[in-house]
Every structure is written in C-alpha cells, then in structure tokens.
Amino acid sequence: MRSPRGRGVADLLSDFGHDLPAVAPAVAMPKPARLFSHVGVRGLREPDRGWVAARPPVAAYQMTSDQAPALWPFIAGPGLPPTGAQMGIDVQSGAAFCADPVGWVLRDEIPVTNANVITMGKPGTGKSATTKAFALRMTDFGYRILVLGDPKDEYERLCHFFGVTPIALGPGMPARVNPLALGPLGQGWDRLSGSEARSRSAVVFTRWLNLVRGVVGSQRIGDQRVPFGPNEAAVVRAALERLTGYAAGSSPLRETTIPRLWRALDEPDDDLVAQCRFVDRQQFLDETRLLRNALGQLVSGVLAGLFDDHTNIDVDWDAPIQSLSLSRLSPLGDEAIGIALLALNSWGRGMREVAPPGDLRVVIRDEVWKVMRLGVDAVKALDEDFRLSRGVAGKGGDIQWVNAHKPSDMLTVGDLGSQAANIARDLMHLADVKILHGQKAGVAAELDTMLGLGPQASDAITGWAMQRRGRALWMVGERAYKVETHLHPAETALTWTNEALEGAA
C-alpha cells in the first residue's frame, strides 16, 4: 500500500524480496428471493387474489395470548375421541363429530358420568331423525334398539329396514302387554337361594308399585290427582303378595295381571282386610274406592283390552330393534297414550332387569312430554330409569334416550317449586348429554335459566340451529359442540316424517 506521502511498507518490503499477502476481493452474494411481500389491506388487484374495493369494518381488540383462546369461534373446545356413531360435523372445528355416551362415561377426561341423553327442540327440527340416525349407527357397535312406545309409528320403517315386524298396540289389536309381567325375572328361581329369591322379589315388587303409583296418580278428580300414599301402597303390596303367592312363601312368584289385582281389591277377602288393618270390609272398600276406580281404567276404561292380560307377544330380545307402535291409541287422547307409555316403561324395565353384561341397548322414549303430563308419579318412574341407567350389580347399563320439546314439558307436572317440578328439573340434570335443537327465544331463555347456557350457546339455539334441520348444540357435560347431523340418502328415507304435510301440499 502506497502512503499518500511516499512509498508504503509493501513497496519497501518488496524491494527486499518479501510480498505482503493481499486481501481477497469480496465476492458479492446473490440476494435471496423474498419469501413474503407486503400486501395492502385491500389485497392484490389481480384476479383471484382477494382484492376488495372497500375495507371491511373490522373491530380491533388487543389481548394477551392467555386471553385469546377464550374468544369464540377462533378456538374450539377440546374435541371428543372418534369413537361411537359418527353423527356429522362439529362446525366449530370442522372435524367429524362422533357420539358415544357409554364411551364418554368410561373416559375420565370427558365430564360425563351417565349415558342418559335428553333431546329438545321445536317440532320438526330433526330430533327424531337424529335419534334414529344415532341408534342405527350404534347397531354397528353391537347395540340393539328398544323403542318404548312409538306414538307416531315413525320407527316402523327402521324396524322394516332390519326385517323386524314392529308390535302394534291399540284397541281391537291382538297384542297384549302385561305391565305386571315378570319378564326374564320369572326364570331361574330354582337356582336361587332363599335370600336371593327375596331380593329378586323386592326388585319385582318395587317396580310394580312404581307402575301402579304412576297409573293411579295420573288420574284426576277435578283438577286434583288421585292420591297414592303409604296406605294405598300397603294395600296394593299386600294384594300383590297374595296374588303372586309370595305371602304364602312360594317361589317362584306367580305372574298376575291388573284385572286380578283390581278384583282382589274390589272383592277383598277377610284376610286381606285384616292384613291391611281395616276395621271391616266396608271400611276397606270406602278407603280404596279411588284406587280401585283408577286401576279400573286399565280394565274397563279407555285402555281396556291393552294391558289387562298376560303378554301374548313373543318379543325376540336378540333382534336388532324392537318397537311398540302406539298410533292407534291417538283417538283415545294424550292421557291414554301417556298411561300406555308408562305401562310399557315398566314392562321394558322388567325385561332389562336381568340383561347380561355386555347386552347394550339404546332405549328410546320419543314424545316423552306425554308421560310428563301425567303428573309426579309418572315422572318418578322415568326418574328411576335414569338413575339406574349406569346399571345395577354389573347388569344393564343402557343408553336412555328421551325426546322432548322444551323444558316446560318437564315442568307442567306441577306448580313452580313443587315437588313434581323439582323432580322434573332434576331429571334434566340426570342426563349428562343434552342435545338442544332450534328453539324460539322464549324457550331458549328458559333453557338458559335451567342449564346456565350463556349468551353464545343461547344464540346458537335461536339462530344457527333454527336455520337447518339436524343442527343442534350438543352439551356433553359442560362442553358445548355445534353439530350438524348428516343423513345418508337411505337414512333420509328412513327418517322421513313429512308425509302428511306432503299430502297437503
């Protein structure tokens, strides 16, 4: 290097044969291509590049990443495992939504402790279609379907699909169902020890008393319900114990029927009068008049010929579906259908009492508001089924599925705050899975009060769910999922319930 004022050190050293090393000239590196380029808020003004003429009115919020996940709908709740019936799409996450109530109970991370399901929605919002699709899809996992009373005969198509003939009940029809049937509990008594026989008898008597309480308590005198208190229960129990041979120490129990029970109370013998601690026969007859008249409804009233003899239908419990069609009862009124549903409830329960472990069923009660209207005793019977749905002593354990319209269905059983209304409200809380289809604002507000849904869930029910049949907010424990049930064309045909309307169009 030459100094501006003379020769530099490098020249001097080169005079003596030494060359200083030179710095290599810098090589220019090629510039990397830009991965991102800034695009204005209106987008690129090219075809298909999302250009907008005006900026959308977007509200800006600032929050920490801790608060952001609470913002709906950007982040959906934790998903459910892909087990059970695939129902459709969870629209918040876009993923498939699978329903598996028993599977959910078995997993600790899902806040569900029973496999009871309540569906609610305005008429025509797709409650029954979702029910049928669920039940149908669960058959692939070994479940069988039991429809405990089908007031509109709408499950018949599903039965025919499985090659099963539904059982039709109605005036003039040959089928009889004995609500006091022993069911499978009638078998195998010879293998039971004394104490086992006694505990089995207790199960049977409790079920019968519940039924009689429901039937009697559903009848009215003016605007009062016929009472069924401890006296009535004691009389019915004593009569049943004598009719079945239990009082005489006989086991197995002899099956009896409602007319026999009614006759035993209508023409009481002296032993029964004495056992029930009445002074004389006349007092017995006076005190049990309402009870006898209420029971008489099943023997000679509107429901005569339906529940007043031994069961004469041979139910194939191994068939994939069993359904009892009740549309022929509709001319007799809602109350008659309600009583029939109650009797079937008891009967179905008896049939499930000794179901072997692993015999899984979806037990469907559609149009359950008809039972609700029958009063507190009828609701109690349903309540019991819900409480026992997890199974008893390792047996049973069904998916109990109930369809209603609105929460006040459950509250028509009594005045606000009454025991009946409380039981009905509790019933809602006994179902850990609630499927809420579209509702009007007033009903959504009722649901909000009962279940603490909050504004977003309430809006989903009154807005989004009302826009399409099959849309519903699935409450799985405390978690909410916006689910759209998708039907296969074959299922659409099986679930079609608009024939009457089509005919009118």
Ligand X SMILES: Nc1ncnc2c1ncn2[C@@H]1O[C@H](COP(=O)(O)OP(=O)(O)OP(=O)(O)O)[C@@H](O)[C@H]1O
Residues in contact with ligand X by the rule CB under 6 A: 121, 123-129, 469-470, 485, 487, 492, 495-498
Q: Which is nearer to Mg ion, 152 or 176 (CB)?
A: 152
We find the least distance from the C-beta atom of residue 466 to Mg ion, in angstroms, to be 16
We find the least distance from the C-beta atom of residue 485 to ligand X, in angstroms, to be 4
Q: Is 495 in the site for Mg ion (CB under 5 A)?
A: no
Q: Which is nearer to ligand X, 213 or 469 (CB)?
A: 469
We find the least distance from the C-beta atom of residue 320 to ligand X, in angstroms, to be 21
469 binds, options Mg ion, ligand X, none, Cβ within 5 to 8 A by partner type? ligand X
Q: Which two tokens stand for residue 91?
A: 């629209």
We find the least distance from the C-beta atom of residue 172 to Mg ion, in angstroms, to be 26
Q: Is 130 in the site for Mg ion (CB under 5 A)?
A: no
Residue nearest to ligand X (CB): 470
Q: Which is nearer to ligand X, 121 or 183 (CB)?
A: 121
Q: Which is nearer to ligand X, 147 or 487 (CB)?
A: 487
Q: Which two tokens stand for residue 482?
A: 């916006």
| Burial zone of 35 (CB within 10 Å; 0-12 exposed, 13-18 middle, 19+ buried) | exposed
Rounded Cα–Cα distance for residues 452 and 464 (Å) = 19
Q: Half-sphere exposure (CA, 13 Å, Cβ side) for 165? A: 7
- Segment lying near Mg ion (by CB under 5 A), choices 61-69, 123-131, 279-287, 434-442: 123-131
Q: Which is nearer to ligand X, 283 or 498 (CB)?
A: 498
Could you tell me the CA-to-CA distances from 279 to 238, 243, 270, 286, 357 in Å, in that order? 16, 22, 10, 11, 49
We find the least distance from the C-beta atom of residue 475 to Mg ion, in angstroms, to be 20
Q: Which is nearer to ligand X, 121 or 375 (CB)?
A: 121
Helix (H) or strand (E) holding 170: none
**Strand residues in 152-294 grouped as ranges (E):** 167-168, 220-221, 224-225
449 binds, options Mg ion, ligand X, none, Cβ within 5 to 8 A by partner type? none
We find the least distance from the C-beta atom of residue 493 to Mg ion, in angstroms, to be 16
Q: Is 131 in the site for Mg ion (CB under 5 A)?
A: no
We find the least distance from the C-beta atom of residue 94 to ligand X, in angstroms, to be 17
Helix/strand/coil for 431: coil
b/e for 200-224, b at 16 or more Cβ within 10 A? Answer: bbeebbebbbbbbbbbbbbbeeeee
- Segment lying near Mg ion (by CB under 5 A), choices 33-41, 126-134, 297-305, 390-398: 126-134
Q: Is 128 in the site for Mg ion (CB under 5 A)?
A: yes
Give the chain's length.
505
Q: Which two tokens stand for residue 418?
A: 């009454």
| Burial zone of 37 (CB within 10 Å; 0-12 exposed, 13-18 middle, 19+ buried) | exposed
Q: Which is nearer to ligand X, 235 or 326 (CB)?
A: 326
